[in-house]
C-alpha cells in the first residue's frame, strides 16, 4: 500500500447537485478543482424538478438582500449548463402551472426537465391527451393517472388511455422505469418502441403522456424521434424513486464535471488535518492505498442522511468533519430525542430538517456562530433547513447554495 | 329489512374467527362483526408461536398441556401456515441456578408437549452452541434447545373466516358495534356502523357473542353489564431481517426470527387505558435491547425497522402480579351471571388455544339454542390446508406454470396453501399482474387484487395483514403508491378517497417507525418522504 498526496486549489467533498455545480463553476473560472465522492446520493433519486421555495425561505430568514436576484443567477447558470449537456430544462411559474407525477399528485416547480415541462395541467386542459402505459412496467398505472387527470382538468376534458406491448421485452412483468429507459438508449429498441407506439395511436392528440422511460443517455434523441413520428407533444409524467430523470440529471452533471476538467476521486474521507484556522488536507483509503488531498480551500457538499452527510444513532452527527449539528436553530445535543420526531406522519419532523449551520460566506460555524475554518465552506442539504423538509426542495437549495459557496470561494482567492 | 341471524359474534380476532367457523360448521346462521380489520387487534400483535408456554409448565401445567395439544391440532388443520422455530436457551456462566433446575422444567415441558410434535430438548456444550449461533459471544455453561412451531396469525384468522363463509357464515370487517339491542332482559341484536362508508345497519340474532378481546368491557357496557379485565400491554421491536439462525432466549425476553424479519419481545405492563392507545415507549425499547445484549452483545448494531404494541385481554385476578396472572380463559353466560338473556362473553386465553376456546363457547351457544350438533373444527382442514404432498412441490409447479421466481411462489403458497393457484389464475389473461407491488416480501399485483376481491381487504392496512406488503425494511416506501392505485381501481374510489387511504396507511406505518427511527432507517425515512410528501399536492 502506498501513500499518495494530491494537491489542488479547491477540493469538494460530495458529487451531488451542489458539489458538482460548485466544482464546475470553479473549474470554469480556472481554479484547479478536485472532487471526492463516494457514490450517488439524493440527486440521482430526485424527480429532477427544481423549486426555489426552500432556498428563498432560507435566504429571507437570514436577511440577505435581494434574494430573488441571487436565485435567478444561480438557476440561470444551472440552466445554461444543462442546455450544454443536452438535458435542457423548462422554466415554469409555480403560481400558474402544475404538473402530473406518476403518483397522480400535482407538482409545482420553477425548472423542470424539458420532458416534463411541456405537460402542464394548464396546457392539457384545452387539448386532448393520450396516456400511454407499457405492459409489465411498474409504477405507472394508466387508469389511476387518467382518474387523476380527469379530477384536475374536469370531466369534460378529452383523456384517453392506451397500454402497449413492446415486442422486444421477453418478460411480461416487473420492469422498472430506469431499466426500460436504459433499454431505449439502444437505437434498435428505440426504433421498435416508436414504431409500436405510433402504430397504436389511431386518433389525433395534442399531448401524449408517457412514463419517465424515454431514454437515459440518449434521452434527447429518443424524445426528438418520438416527437417527429407521433406529431403530438410527447411528455413524461414526473418521476418518483427509482427515477430516470434523477439519474439523467446526475449523469449530465458528471459529463459537465469531466468536460470542465474537474478531477474526480472516489473514496470516503476518514481523517483530516488542520493548521491554525485552516483545514489543510483530507484523507481516505482506496484500493491503491491511502490518499491525502491537500487544498487551499474546501467545500463540504455531502448531503443529508441519504447522501451520507448526516447520521443519527443516539446522536446527530456530521459524518466528515464532526461539525456541530443543529436542529431548527437548537443544538442537537440539547434537543431531547423525543422532540426530534412527532407522532403525526405529516407533522414537522425536526430530525429530518437537521444539519450544520453556516455564516453568510457559507463557512460552517460552531455553537457561538464563529467559523470553524476560514477555508471550509458548505453547501447543499448538509446545511440545516429552517423550514419543513417538504418545503426544502433539496435540488433548488443545492443549486443556490452551491453557486453562492463557489462564488464565495472565488472571491476569497482573488 | 333487518338481517337476522342465530348468532352474532363481535370481534374478528382469532377467537371470534374461530367461534364463527365453529358455529357455522354446526349449521348455525352466523355473522361475524369486526370494528377494524380481522386480526388487527391483539391477535395481530402476538408473536405467532404455537407453543405451550415454558414458563407456565410448572405453575400452570393444565394450560401448558392444553396449549400443546391444540398446537398439534392447528398443525394438522393448517399445515401451510406453520413453520418451525428451533430455539436456544443459553445458560450464562454466572447463572446461580443449577442446570438440573432447568432440566426439570424442560423435562416437564417435553412430557406435557408430546402432541406439539416437537423433538425433546437436548443440552449443547458452549462450543456446540457457538457453532449453531455464533452471535452468542458471552461466557455460557451451554444451552438447552427447544423447538416450537410458529404460525402466520393473520392468515390463520383469514383461514378460519374463509372456512366459516364456505359453510354459510357472513363476515364483515370495518363494522363497529355501536349499540346492543336489548328488549327487556333479552339481547336481540346489535347496531353496527360501517366505518368506511358511515352506513349504520341493524342485525338481529338469538345470541350475541362478545369476543372483543381487550375491548370486551366496551361491549358489555353497551349491554348494561359490568365486566372487568386486567389488560396488560406488550411491545415488540422488529429488525430488518433474520438476525440469528435460531430463536434465542435472552434474560427474560426472546429474539425470534420471523418470516423475513426478527421479532424481539415481550413486555408485560398493566394498561388500564383504551386499547387503541397502546404505543411503545423508548424505555421499553431500551429494556428489550439491554436484555438481548446480555446474551447477544452485537444486537445494538442491528437495524430496527419498527415497533408494535398490543393489549392482552387477561381476566382480573385481584392481588396477583402481572407476570403471574393465568392465561386461562373463561366463558361467561350473562343470563346466569347478570340475568341478561341471549348474551355470552369469552375472555382471557391465548392464541394457541383459540380453537378450544371457540369450541367451549359454541357448546354453550348450542346448548342455549337447543341445537345439539357436535364440534368438528379439529378434524376438518382449514381453508388452504386441504392438500397432500409438499408445499415446496406446489411452489415449484406454480413457478414453472406461470414463469414466476420460485421465491415468489414459495412465499405465496406459505400464505394461501392449496389455494395459491386461485391467486395466480388471472396471469393466464393478464400476465403483467405478475409484477411485484411490494419488493421486500414479494407480493404480486395478482395477489393484491385477489385480496381485495376475495379476502375482504378494504384498506391498504388490510392488504398489509393479508400479504405482508409493506412490512419489510423499506417500510412501505415502494408499495404504497402502487397498492393505492390498485385499491382505487378495484373499489372505484375517487382521487380524494384514494389519497385519503394512502395517508391513513402512511400514518399507521409511521406510528410503529418513529419510536425507533435511527441509523440506516433515517435514510429510508427520507426516501419515503421524498416519494409521498415532497411538495406534492392533490387537491
Percent of chain B with pLDDT over 70: 99
The pLDDT of residue A275 is 97
DSSP B426: G
CB-nearest to B482 from A139, A151, A171 is: A139
CB-nearest to A345 from B510, B518, B526 is: B510
Question: Do the bridges between strand A289-300 and strand A2-13 make them parallel or antiparallel, or are there none, so unpaired?
Answer: parallel
Residue A219 has pLDDT above 80, yes or no: yes
Touching B: A residues 307-326, CB under 8 Å = 311-314
pLDDT tens-digit readout, B216-274: 999 999 999 999 999 999 999 999 999 999 999 998 899 999 989 999 998 989 999 99
CA distance A27 to chain B (A): 31
For B492: left if phi > 0, alpha if psi spans -120 to 50, otherwise beta; the answer is: left
Interchain proximity A106–B433, CB inside 8 Å: no
- Nearest residue to A236 via CA among A256, A250, A222, A252: A222
Phi, psi of B200 (to 5 degrees): -105, 140
Chain A residues inside the 8 Å CB shell of B530: 42, 45-46, 240-241
Residue A227 has pLDDT above 80, yes or no: yes
The pLDDT of residue B325 is 76
A8, with CB counted inside 10 A (0-12, 13-18, 19+), is: buried
Residue B466 has pLDDT above 70, yes or no: yes
pLDDT tens-digit readout, A47-100: 999 999 889 889 988 888 778 898 999 999 999 999 999 999 999 999 999 999
Which of A337-346, B297-306, B360-369 has the weakest average pLDDT?
A: A337-346
Residue A297 has pLDDT above 70, yes or no: yes
Q: Which three cell numbers stand for residue A322?
A: 464532526
**To which residue does cell 360448521 refer?**
B25
Touching A: B residues 402-431, CB under 8 Å = 403, 431
CA gap B398, B401 in Å, rounded: 5
Mean pLDDT in residue range A301-318 = 95
pLDDT tens-digit readout, B309-354: 999 999 988 888 777 777 889 999 999 999 999 999 999 999 999 9
Query: Looking at the complex, does the CB of residue A128 fall below 8 Å from at least one CB of chain B?
Result: no
- Nearest residue to B378 via CA among B81, B72, B84, B116: B72
**Which of A212, A240, A310, A393 to mutate to probe the B interface, most B CBs <10 Å?**
A240
Residue B522 has pLDDT above 80, yes or no: yes
pLDDT tens-digit readout, B193-229: 999 999 999 999 999 999 999 999 999 999 999 999 9
Percent of chain A with pLDDT over 90: 83
- Nearest residue to A383 via CA among A62, A24, A64, A74: A62
The pLDDT of residue A66 is 78
Rg (CA), chain B: 23
CA gap A16, B207 in Å, rounded: 67
**To which residue does cell 475554518 refer?**
A373
- For the entire predicted model, the pTM comes to 0.96
Percent of chain B with pLDDT over 90: 90
Residue B299 has pLDDT above 70, yes or no: yes
Which residue from A minimizes the CA distance to B522?
A305
Q: Which three cell numbers stand for residue A405?
A: 459557496
The pLDDT of residue A304 is 95
CA distance A204 to chain B (A): 27
The pLDDT of residue B535 is 56
CA gap B310, B266 in Å, rounded: 10
**To which residue does cell 399536492 refer?**
B537
CA B291 to chain centre: 24
The pLDDT of residue A334 is 55
What is the largest distance, in Å, between two alpha-carbon atoms of chain A? 72
Mean pLDDT in residue range B165-188 = 98
CA gap B77, B100 in Å, rounded: 37
Question: Do the bridges between strand A316-318 and strand A310-312 make them parallel or antiparallel, or are there none, so unpaired?
Answer: antiparallel
DSSP code string of B168-190: T-EEESSEEEEEEEEETTEEEEE
* Higher pLDDT pick, A2 / A343: A343
User: Distances in Å between the alpha carbon of B346 and those of A289, B30, B154, B276, B360?
Assistant: 70, 17, 21, 20, 9
- Nearest residue to B239 via CA among B153, B294, B298, B151: B298
The pLDDT of residue A201 is 85
DSSP code string of A106-166: EE--SEEEHHHHT--HHHHTTSEEEEEEETTBTT--HHHHHHHHHHHH-TTSEEEEEEE--
Mean pLDDT in residue range A345-352 = 90
Q: What is the ipTM of this complex?
A: 0.95
Touching A: B residues 478-497, CB under 8 Å = 478, 481-482, 485-486, 488-489, 494-495
Residue B1 has pLDDT above 80, yes or no: no
Chain B residues inside the 8 Å CB shell of A108: 535, 537
pLDDT tens-digit readout, A242-269: 899 999 999 999 999 999 999 999 999 9
Which residue from A minimizes the CA distance to B536?
A107
The band of A171, judged by pLDDT with boundaries at 50, 70 and 90, is confident
DSSP code string of A50-102: B--HHHHHHHHHTT-SSHHHHHHHHHHHHHHHHHHTT--EEE--TTT--EEBT
Interchain proximity B481–A391, CB inside 8 Å: no
Mean pLDDT in residue range A140-155 = 95
Chain A residues inside the 8 Å CB shell of B434: 172-174
Interchain proximity A42–B530, CB inside 8 Å: yes
CB-nearest to A105 from B486, B527, B537 is: B537
DSSP code string of B85-131: EEEEEEEETT--S-HHHHHHHHHHHHHHTGGGTPPPP-EE-HHHHHH
User: Distances in Å between the alpha carbon of A120 and those of A86, A87, A131, A249, B138?
Assistant: 22, 19, 14, 20, 63
The pLDDT of residue B538 is 61
Chain B residues inside the 8 Å CB shell of A338: 282
Touching A: B residues 279-308, CB under 8 Å = 282
**Mean pLDDT estimate for chain B:** 95
Q: Which residues contact B539 (CB under 8 A, 6 or more apart)?
A: none
Query: Looking at the complex, does the CB of residue B435 fall below 8 Å from at least one CB of chain A?
Result: yes
Helices and strands per DSSP (H, E), number in chain B: 17, 20
Touching A: B residues 125-144, CB under 8 Å = none
CA gap A142, A130 in Å, rounded: 10
Chain A residues inside the 8 Å CB shell of B403: 171
Q: Which three cell numbers stand for residue B92?
A: 450464562
**Which of A39, A101, A102, A103 to mutate to probe the B interface, most B CBs <10 Å?**
A103
Between CA B121 and CA B127, with CA B125 as vertex, the angle to 5 degrees is: 130
Query: Looking at the complex, does the CB of residue A390 fall below 8 Å from at least one CB of chain B?
Result: yes
Q: Which three cell numbers stand for residue A29?
A: 473560472
The pLDDT of residue B55 is 72
Exposed e or buried b per residue across A112-129, where buried means at least 16 C-beta atoms within 10 angstroms of its C-beta = bbbbbbbbbbeebeeebb
The band of B307, judged by pLDDT with boundaries at 50, 70 and 90, is very high
CA gap B287, B515 in Å, rounded: 14
Give the number of other CB atoms < 10 A from CB of residue A198.
13
CB B412 within 8 A of CB B398: yes
Interchain proximity B519–A313, CB inside 8 Å: yes
pLDDT tens-digit readout, A269-289: 999 999 999 999 999 998 889
The pLDDT of residue B411 is 96
Interchain proximity A341–B514, CB inside 8 Å: yes
- Nearest residue to A338 via CA among B533, B303, B473, B518: B518
Interchain proximity B535–A136, CB inside 8 Å: no
pLDDT tens-digit readout, A181-208: 999 999 999 999 999 999 988 788 999 9
User: Distances in Å between the alpha carbon of A367 and those of A216, A317, A388?
Assistant: 44, 14, 22
CA A122 to chain centre: 25
The band of A367, judged by pLDDT with boundaries at 50, 70 and 90, is confident
User: Distances in Å between the alpha carbon of B137 and those of A110, B292, B294?
Assistant: 57, 12, 10
Question: Do the bridges between strand B3-10 and strand A376-378 make them parallel or antiparallel, or are there none, so unpaired?
Answer: unpaired
Question: Do the bridges between strand A263-266 and strand A269-275 make them parallel or antiparallel, or are there none, so unpaired?
Answer: unpaired
Amino acid at each position: 500500500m502506498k501513500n499518495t498526496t494530491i494537491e489542488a486549489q479547491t477540493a469538494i467533498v460530495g458529487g451531488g447537485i451542489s458539489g458538482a455545480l460548485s466544482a464546475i463553476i470553479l473549474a470554469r473560472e480556472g481554479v484547479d478543482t478536485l472532487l471526492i465522492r463516494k457514490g450517488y446520493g439524493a440527486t440521482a433519486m430526485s424527480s429532477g424538478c427544481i423549486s426555489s421555495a426552500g432556498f428563498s425561505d432560507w435566504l429571507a430568514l437570514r436577511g440577505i438582500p435581494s434574494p430573488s436576484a441571487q436565485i435567478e443567477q444561480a438557476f440561470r447558470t444551472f440552466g445554461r449548463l444543462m442546455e450544454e449537456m443536452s438535458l435542457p430544462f423548462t422554466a415554469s411559474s409555480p403560481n400558474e402551472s402544475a404538473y402530473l407525477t406518476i403518483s397522480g399528485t400535482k407538482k409545482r416547480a420553477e425548472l423542470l426537465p424539458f420532458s416534463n415541462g411541456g405537460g402542464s395541467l394548464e396546457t392539457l386542459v384545452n387539448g386532448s391527451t393520450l396516456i400511454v402505459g407499457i405492459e409489465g412496467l411498474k409504477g405507472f398505472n394508466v387508469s389511476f393517472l387518467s382518474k387523476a387527470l380527469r379530477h384536475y382538468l374536469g370531466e369534460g376534458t378529452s383523456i384517453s388511455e392506451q397500454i402497449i406491448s413492446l415486442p422486444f421485452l421477453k418478460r411480461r412483468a416487473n420492469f422498472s422505469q430506469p431499466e426500460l429507459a436504459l433499454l431505449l438508449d439502444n437505437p434498435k429498441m428505440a426504433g421498435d418502441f416508436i414504431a409500436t407506439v405510433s402504430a397504436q395511436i389511431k386518433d389525433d392528440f395534442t399531448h401524449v403522456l408517457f412514463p419517465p422511460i424515454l431514454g437515459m443517455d440518449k434521452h434527447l434523441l429518443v424524445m426528438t424521434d418520438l416527437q417527429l413520428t407521433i406529431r403530438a407533444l410527447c411528455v413524461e409524467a414526473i418521476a418518483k424513486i427509482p427515477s430516470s430523470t434523477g439519474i439523467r440529471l446526475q449523469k449530465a452533471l458528471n459529463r459537465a464535471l469531466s468536460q470542465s476538467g474537474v478531477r474526480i476521486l472516489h473514496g470516503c474521507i476518514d481523517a483530516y488535518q488542520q493548521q491554525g484556522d485552516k483545514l489543510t488536507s483530507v484523507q481516505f483509503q482506496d484500493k491503491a492505498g491511502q490518499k491525502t488531498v491537500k487544498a487551499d480551500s474546501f467545500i463540504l457538499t455531502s448531503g443529508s442522511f441519504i447522501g451520507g452527510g448526516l447520521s443519527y444513532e443516539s446522536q446527530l452527527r456530521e459524518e466528515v468533519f464532526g461539525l456541530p449539528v443543529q436542529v431548527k436553530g437548537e443544538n442537537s445535543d440539547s434537543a431531547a430525542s423525543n422532540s426530534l420526531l412527532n407522532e403525526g406522519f405529516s407533522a414537522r419532523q425536526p430530525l429530518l430538517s437537521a444539519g450544520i449551520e453556516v455564516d453568510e460566506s457559507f463557512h460552517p460555524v460552531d455553537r457561538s456562530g464563529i467559523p470553524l475554518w476560514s477555508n471550509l465552506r458548505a453547501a447543499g442539504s448538509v446545511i440545516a433547513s429552517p423550514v419543513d423538509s417538504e418545503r426544502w426542495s433539496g435540488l433548488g437549495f443545492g443549486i443556490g447554495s452551491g453557486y453562492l459557496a463557489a462564488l464565495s470561494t472565488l472571491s476569497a482567492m482573488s | 329489512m333487518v338481517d337476522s341471524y342465530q348468532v352474532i359474534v363481535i370481534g374478528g380476532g382469532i377467537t371470534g374467527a374461530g367461534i364463527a367457523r365453529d358455529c357455522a360448521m354446526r349449521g348455525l346462521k352466523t355473522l361475524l362483526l369486526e370494528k377494524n380489520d380481522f386480526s388487527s387487534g391483539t391477535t395481530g400483535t402476538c408473536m405467532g408461536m404455537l407453543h405451550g408456554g415454558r414458563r407456565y409448565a410448572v405453575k400452570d401445567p393444565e394450560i401448558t398441556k392444553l396449549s400443546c395439544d391444540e398446537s398439534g391440532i392447528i398443525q394438522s388443520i393448517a399445515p401451510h401456515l406453520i413453520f418451525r422455530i428451533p430455539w436456544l436457551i443459553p445458560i450464562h456462566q454466572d447463572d446461580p441456578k443449577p442446570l438440573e433446575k432447568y432440566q426439570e422444567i424442560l423435562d416437564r415441558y417435553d412430557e406435557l408437549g408430546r402432541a406439539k410434535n416437537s423433538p425433546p430438548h437436548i443440552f449443547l456444550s458452549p462450543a456446540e452452541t457457538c457453532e449453531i449461533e455464533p452471535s452468542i459471544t458471552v461466557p455460557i455453561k451451554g444451552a438447552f434447545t427447544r423447538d416450537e412451531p410458529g404460525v402466520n396469525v393473520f392468515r390463520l384468522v383469514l383461514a378460519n373466516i374463509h372456512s366459516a363463509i364456505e359453510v354459510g357464515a357472513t363476515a364483515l370487517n370495518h363494522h363497529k358495534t355501536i349499540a346492543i339491542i336489548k328488549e327487556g332482559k333479552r339481547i336481540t341484536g346489535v347496531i353496527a356502523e360501517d366505518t368506511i362508508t358511515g352506513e349504520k345497519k341493524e342485525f338481529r340474532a338469538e345470541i350475541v357473542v362478545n369476543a372483543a378481546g381487550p375491548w370486551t368491557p366496551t361491549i358489555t357496557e353497551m349491554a348494561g353489564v359490568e365486566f372487568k379485565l386486567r389488560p396488560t400491554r406488550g411491545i415488540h421491536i422488529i429488525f430488518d431481517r433474520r438476525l440469528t439462525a435460531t430463536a434465542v432466549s435472552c434474560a427474560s425476553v426472546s429474539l425470534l426470527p420471523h418470516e423475513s424479519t426478527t421479532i424481539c419481545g415481550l413486555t408485560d405492563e398493566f394498561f388500564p387505558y383504551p386499547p387503541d392507545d397502546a404505543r411503545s415507549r423508548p424505555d421499553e425499547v431500551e429494556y428489550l435491547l439491554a436484555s438481548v445484549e446480555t446474551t447477544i452483545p452485537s444486537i445494538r448494531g442491528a437495524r430496527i425497522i419498527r415497533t408494535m404494541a398490543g393489549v392482552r385481554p387477561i381476566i382480573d385476578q385481584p392481588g396477583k402480579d402481572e407476570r403471574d396472572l393465568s392465561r386461562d380463559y373463561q366463558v361467561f353466560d350473562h343470563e346466569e351471571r347478570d340475568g341478561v338473556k341471549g348474551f355470552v362473553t369469552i375472555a382471557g386465553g391465548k392464541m394457541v388455544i383459540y380453537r378450544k376456546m371457540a369450541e367451549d363457547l359454541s357448546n354453550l351457544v348450542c346448548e342455549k339454542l337447543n341445537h345439539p350438533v357436535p364440534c368438528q373444527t379439529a378434524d376438518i382442514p382449514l381453508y388452504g390446508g386441504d392438500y397432500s404432498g409438499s408445499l415446496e412441490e406446489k411452489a415449484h409447479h406454480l413457478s414453472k406454470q406461470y414463469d414466476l421466481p420460485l421465491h415468489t411462489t414459495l412465499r405465496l403458497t406459505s400464505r394461501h396453501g392449496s389455494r395459491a393457484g386461485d391467486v395466480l389464475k388471472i396471469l393466464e389473461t393478464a400476465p403483467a399482474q405478475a409484477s411485484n407491488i411490494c419488493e421486500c416480501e414479494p407480493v404480486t399485483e395478482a395477489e393484491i387484487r385477489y385480496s381485495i376481491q376475495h379476502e375482504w381487504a378494504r384498506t391498504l392496512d388490510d392488504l398489509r395483514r393479508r400479504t405482508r406488503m409493506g412490512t419489510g425494511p423499506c417500510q412501505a416506501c415502494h408499495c404504497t403508491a402502487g397498492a393505492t392505485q390498485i385499491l382505487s381501481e378495484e373499489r372505484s374510489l375517487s382521487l380524494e378517497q384514494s389519497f385519503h387511504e394512502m395517508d391513513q396507511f402512511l400514518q399507521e406505518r409511521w406510528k410503529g417507525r418513529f419510536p425507533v427511527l435511527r441509523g440506516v432507517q433515517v435514510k429510508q425515512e427520507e426516501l419515503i418522504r421524498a416519494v409521498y410528501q415532497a411538495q406534492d399536492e392533490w387537491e
